[in-house]
Structure formats: C-alpha cells, structure tokens
Amino acid sequence: MESYNINTEDLYTVAFQNVVSRYGKDYTFDIKLKIMGCQAQESANVVVNALELPITAEEFMKETKGQFEVLFPDSELMPGARRLIEHFHKNKVPIGLATSSAEAAYHMKVDKHHKELFDLFDHKTFGSSDPSVKRGKPHPDIFLVAAAKFSDNPKPEQCLVFEDAVNGVKAARAAGMQVVMVPDPRVDKSLTEEATIVLKSLEDFDPKLFGLPPFEN
C-alpha cells in the first residue's frame, strides 16, 4: 500500500529495466502486473524465470538494490496522498501502512522527503522483512498482520484497504476487507472487479461513502 501513497511503481519499472537491459531483455507490463504487490524474493524469482536471465534471483535483487539507492530517495507522493493521510490523522481515524517492501527499501523512499508525513501512521508492516508475514500478496497475511496491530482489534470487515495492485486487491478481499483501488490505467477492467470501488485517483476518494469523516473542503 505504500506505493499507493508514493509513486514508486514507475521507479521500480526503471530500476528493473535498467538491470534486465544488461542482458538484452525487456521488463514488460505483463511481468510487472504479475509481481506488483509481491514480496521482494518472489518478485525476483518471477522476473528471473520469465526473462530467463543468466543470474540468480539473489543476484537480481542485489543489482536492483543498487538502482533503488539512486532512484528511491527522490520519490514523489501520489496526488491526494498527503490530503488523505493528514485528514485521517486529524480526525483520529487509525491508519496503518502495509507494504510488500522490506523496511530498508521503505526508508530509502520515505526518509529524505516524506518522513514527517509517514510518521502519522499508527504502525507499519513490511512484507518482505517482517517474519510474521509468512506469504506475500495475493495471500491475505500482510493485511491480517497489519490489522492485528490496531489497539481496538477491528474485525476484517471494519478495515478499509487502499491498493493499486491486482495482487493487493486479491489479498485484501481474501482477508475479508473492503478495498479502494486506483489501478494503473493499462490494467484490464476485468482485473479490477474484486475491488469495492475503483477510482482514477486518490483525489477522487469520498470518505463519506465508507462512513468516515468528510473532507472539510
């Protein structure tokens, strides 16, 4: 869900393409669609196998890490993300961050420009480095782990997930939660049907639809 707040998916595409191009390959959208929302190890396995790269998944992860260190620190917020996070915090709506990234990658993206905003989250769950998250999306583990961290112990149906990935939507629904999806415009509409609601932008989100405090303006 962190890529839902920060525009990192484009940066992942650049990083992965920079690596696979060394081996004469192209990182296609079809491959991207398969790994969006997945844990780092699983993503590496898929890319290496799909493109028949002459390196191991571990070597691929090492090469992409070098790319991330250059690209991630200047990542930008998605339109509407700041307004939404600050609105929930101001109105005391509990919010948690559930990202498939490892904690180290998260800090690369957030610490330089966005730390103050992301400190508003009540807690954070890092799918690729938290041992309690046994399986990546589309399995529900990360959202169930994240929900369990809320002090009021909400039921799954009381949780609202924001997602951009098809795998993330499947994970949220498998967890029994509602999910707002802002997909890549290239995603076939048939792949978005499991979402509770599909929006073009976070700026289009209306909290009142889910019984949440309305925006002031």
Q: Alpha-carbon torsion 192, 193, 195, 198, what sign? A: positive
pLDDT tens, 107-153?
999 999 999 999 999 999 999 999 999 999 999 999 999 999 999 99
Delimit the CATH 3.40.50.1000 region(s) of the chain: 81-210
E-assigned strand segments in 42-151: 96-99, 123-126
- What's the pTM value of the predicted model, to 2 decimals? 0.87
> How many C-beta neighbours within 10 Å does residue 102 have?
19
Other C-beta atoms closer than 10 Å to the C-beta of 89 total 16
Write down the pLDDT at residue 8.
Answer: 83
- What's the pLDDT at 9? 84
What's the topology of domain 81-210? Rossmann fold (3.40.50)
Mapped onto helix, strand or coil, the DSSP state of residue 107 is helix
Q: How far, in Å, CA of 75 to CA of 111, rounded?
A: 10
Give bridge partners of residue 160 from the DSSP assignment: 178
User: 130-141, pLDDT tens digit by residue?
Assistant: 999 999 999 999
Q: What is the pLDDT of residue 4?
A: 53
Which CATH superfamily includes the segment(s) 7-72? Putative phosphatase; domain 2 (1.10.150.240)
Are 40 and 8 spatial neighbours (Cβ–Cβ below 8 Å)? Answer: no
Ranges of CATH 1.10.150.240 domains, the chain: 7-72
Residues of the chain with pLDDT under 70: 1-4
- Residue 13 DSSP SS3: helix
DSSP annotation of 101: S
